[in-house]
Amino acid sequence: MAALAAIRDRIEVMLQDTGNAIWDTDVLDEGLRQALDQYNLVNPLRMETVITLPGDGREIALSGISGLLYVLDCWWPYDSDAATETWPPNRVRGWRVWWDDNRAVLFLEITEGSQPQTDEEVRIWYAKRQTIENLDSGSTTTIRGDHESLIILGAAGHAAMSRTADLVEVANTDLFQVGLLGTWGQRKIREFNAQLKIIQREQVRHGPSWLSGWSLDKWDEGRDHVQDTYG
């Protein structure tokens, strides 16, 4: 995936301003931030980690997870050194994340009365921000390769709308040209938002996997056969 300089170049090409005569890099970067923020709302980076607990209790500090947005799933108890995988997993059915002075804390709402103990492990799936290398200290570009053009589209649209707002306040401005630029920018943002909705639908998951659940009827043996075959 491309770093910031290459992505800027592509935005400049879309805006027909490869020499930065109209849009400086600060404006382009702000448009890129806005597009990236919208993208992160529907397609954040999904990660997984195992935490070794420093103490007893249901409250687990997540301050060691950089860029955390929210937790997706939690398994406890969990043993990363187990010879065989436990299945179905020990998925925690009741948990929530709250923020203490901008630090995330995972609280396990365990009804059985038990609680995690020191040196036990908790496996967590979580979402964090996608980044672009060299934008706001991003060390790598994590956006999928086939989504790069989408981010550029959104950034160009936001940059165009920023330029429109700036020109409206300038004396003797050709408001017809400003209107055309605003219309172009709005169209690009609409195209961007429409693609985000498609990505959002692709990310939606309803209920358990298709290997789980009840049989359709007494002749329904296909599901069990597939489960036996693939584990």
pLDDT in tens, 23-80: 999 999 999 999 999 999 999 999 999 999 999 999 999 988 988 999 999 999 999 9
CA distance 48 to 141: 18
Q: What is the pLDDT of residues 157-210, one digit of tens each?
A: 999 999 999 887 777 778 888 999 999 999 999 999 999 999 998 877 544 444
pLDDT score recorded for residue 210? 45
H and E: helices and strands count for the chain: 5, 6
The first and second tokens of residue 91, run together, are: 């998925």
| pTM of the model as a whole | 0.80
| Whole-number average pLDDT of the chain | 87
Q: Which amino acid is at 172?
A: N
Whether 82 shows a pLDDT value over 80: the answer reads yes
Q: Which pLDDT belongs to residue 154? A: 98
Structure tokens at 84: 């065989």
- Give Rg (Cα) of the chain: 24
Q: Which regions of 55-140 does DSSP assign to beta strands (E)?
A: 59-61, 68-78, 95-100, 103-108, 121-128
Look at 32-46, 112-126, 144-158 and tell me which has the smallest mean pLDDT: 112-126
The domain locations on the chain are 4-43+132-203, 45-128
> Strand pairing of 95-100 and 59-61?
unpaired
